[in-house]
Amino acid sequence: MKTSTLKARTASALAGVPQLAVPFGIATLVATAAYAGADTTFGPALAKFTDFLEGSGGKIITVMSLAGGLIGLASGRFSLGQVAVPVGVGIGVGTGVPIVTSVVTAVI
């Protein structure tokens, strides 16, 4: 009786295999190779955003940060962050974009 129970369990466990084999086979035939770095889906958006940050947009962000720091200094509450943040923003906008772009597009 134990052998018939084992056969029944094995048969019920293997019953779903043909149902999975067809989708798996189709997916295997349809799949194509994917290469890292070959996708250019967001290329135009990346180019626009990079141009914005490296151009007038980066200058505007830096000037607004500096203006916020100066307003804080004029209000009488001095802190080192009011000077350091605009400097950090200017350095980040000026040199951060080329560094990130070169790291992301590096060939490893």
Close Cβ partners of 89 (under 8 Å, ≥ 6 residues apart): 61, 62, 65
Same domain, 80 and 48: yes
Average pLDDT of the residues of the chain: 74
Same domain, 47 and 96: yes
**How confident is residue 94, by pLDDT bands cut at 50, 70 and 90?**
confident
Residue 34, pLDDT score = 59
Same domain, 62 and 101: yes
Same domain, 80 and 108: yes
Contact 53, 92 (CB under 8 A): no
Alpha helices in the chain, H assignment, sequence order = 2-14, 17-30, 43-54, 56-74, 81-104
Mean pLDDT (whole number) for 49-56: 83
**How confident is residue 106, by pLDDT bands cut at 50, 70 and 90?**
low
- 36 assigned to some structural domain: no
Range of the domain at 20: 1-31
Mean pLDDT (whole number) for 9-17: 59
Same domain, 45 and 21: no
pLDDT above 80 for 55:
yes
**How confident is residue 80, by pLDDT bands cut at 50, 70 and 90?**
confident
C-alpha span between 100 and 37 (Å, rounded): 15
Residue 8, pLDDT score = 58
